Amino acid sequence: MPEAPKPTHLHPSDLRALARLLADATVGVTGVVEGVHVGVAPPAGGGGIAPLTYRTIRTATRFIGAGMDAALAPLEGLLGPRQGESPRPPTPQRRAALAALNGVMGDYLADSGSPLALPLTFHSGGATLTADHAALAAALPRATGRVLLLVHGLCLGDPCWECAGGGLGGALERERGYTPVAVSYNSGRHVSTNGRELAHRLEMLLGNWPRPVEELVIAGHSMGGLVARSAIHAGAAANHDWPARLRALVTLGTPHHGAPLERGGNWINVLLDGSPYAAPFSRLGKGRSAGITDLRYGSLVDADWHGRDRFAHGGDERVIVPLPVGVRCYAVAGSLSADGGAIRESRATGGATLHDRLIGDGLVPLDSALGRHADPARALPFDDTWVAAATGHRDLLTRPEVIERVVGWLS
């Protein structure tokens, strides 16, 4: 049997992708510098040497970038796998770096056709799954009819669910007989774009599952909970089969009603745009991905952003998407408060303490994670909710108390 190829940090296509990224970044920074220059010392009559200089820099940068792309193209064939060889798998460090890069600028990577853009894939037990019955049977010899889908959050990847004892997936596999499947996706794209693709891919995956699927449970962390809800909505609209098999939805630290950090970032853009001297710097903030701006209020469908300026300041005008009917829905929130007071008060009438309403787990406030809203039409009536004390946003993935609570819900 041939030796399995060793993991690698870099792939042959990385050089071309990084060269394109560098060229585009240089053009963008040149635009910012030109904006500052014009704001401080506008040329008389709109002419002068400065505009010509900046146009020359941009043209030269694009020319050099195209030349580098053409020069590096032949290297892909030389550095890539030889005929009959399998591509070298990525190292954990590469997967983490790509997940973070995609979260920050994944929409740009996808739109520009960059090989650094992550495709939506399914993983289980270290294997990448394909929607082929024979291949799934070979990859999952112990697959059951109970499937657990794990959906990661912004800037993370499917390995985020792994921890001592196998994490949530391992616990539910041992104690409840679920077969865990983790999703990897480009978290910088719009939530609704990922949700629609996830619905389509899940229909094919479960349609070719090695055994008849009796039950599907979805657990989403952070943005992953929004992607899961968007996928359920899209799957129902497309008359897919899999939503009828969905029995439970669990969200961990999901900003169902948005995250203050993104709303604060939007305000910064508004303030910068109000000054002719600072306005060029708002372009840097507007480089953040579509996925990040969807976190302002928790957008789930295309109508929330299609045909709109996603950086324009405005109120919450989301299309209301209720929780799925006939599905048990649970929500876990994290609280940085170390005592139990935050937990007790969060369940009392009137909501959580001011600290938790603003901070919560460090990224998502309690009210947002638990689906509470001042407008009853937007409030999400979860079957049960729970607050994990002394728990940060990322800790929700691995805390034994959180895993135990979810296992109990699904018993």
Q: What is the CATH number of the domain that holds 223?
A: 3.40.50.1820
Q: If you ran DSSP here, which 8-state letter would residue 380 be given?
A: -
Measure the CA–CA gap between 396 and 319, rounded to whole angstroms.
28
Asked if residue 18 belongs to a domain, the reply is: yes
Q: Are residues 205 and 324 in the same domain?
A: yes
pLDDT tens-digit series, residues 197-212: 999 999 999 999 999 9
Asked if residue 299 belongs to a domain, the reply is: no
Nearest to 270 by CA among 316, 312, 308: 312
Question: What range does the domain containing 10 cover?
Answer: 1-89
Q: Are residues 230 and 163 in the same domain?
A: yes
Q: Which helix (H) or strand (E) element contains residue 330?
A: strand 328-334
Strand partners, 219: 150, 250
Asked if residue 279 belongs to a domain, the reply is: no
Count of domains in the chain? 2
pTM of the model: 0.80
Instruction: Supply 47's token pair.
Output: 């002419």
Instruction: Supply 51's token pair.
Output: 């505009």
Q: Are residues 74 and 184 in the same domain?
A: no
Domain end marker among 41, 74, 89: 89
Measure the CA–CA gap between 55 and 59, rounded to whole angstroms.
6
Q: Are residues 68 and 4 in the same domain?
A: yes
Q: Are residues 250 and 374 in the same domain?
A: yes
Q: Are residues 254 and 375 in the same domain?
A: yes
Q: Are residues 141 and 209 in the same domain?
A: yes
Q: Are residues 64 and 134 in the same domain?
A: no
Question: pLDDT at position 142, please?
Answer: 95
Q: Are residues 331 and 400 in the same domain?
A: yes
Residues 313 and 270 sit within 8 Å (Cβ to Cβ): yes
Asked if residue 313 belongs to a domain, the reply is: no
Q: Are residues 241 and 350 in the same domain?
A: yes
Segments of the chain with pLDDT less than 50: 1-2, 27-40, 54, 71-72, 75, 77-82, 84-85, 265-275, 277-285, 340-342, 344-350
Asked if residue 265 belongs to a domain, the reply is: no
Question: pLDDT at position 359, please?
Answer: 75
Measure the CA–CA gap between 228 and 60, rounded to whole angstroms.
44
The residues, any chain, with a CB within 8 Å of residue 326's CB and separated by 6 or more, are none
pLDDT tens-digit series, residues 246-282: 999 999 999 999 988 766 544 444 444 444 544 444 4
Nearest to 293 by CA among 271, 265, 332, 321: 265
Q: Are residues 61 and 140 in the same domain?
A: no
Asked if residue 274 belongs to a domain, the reply is: no
Cα distance from N-terminal residue to C-terminal residue, the chain? 43
The residues, any chain, with a CB within 8 Å of residue 20's CB and separated by 6 or more, are 65, 69, 112, 114
Q: Are residues 25 and 136 in the same domain?
A: no
Measure the CA–CA gap between 211 and 207, rounded to whole angstroms.
10
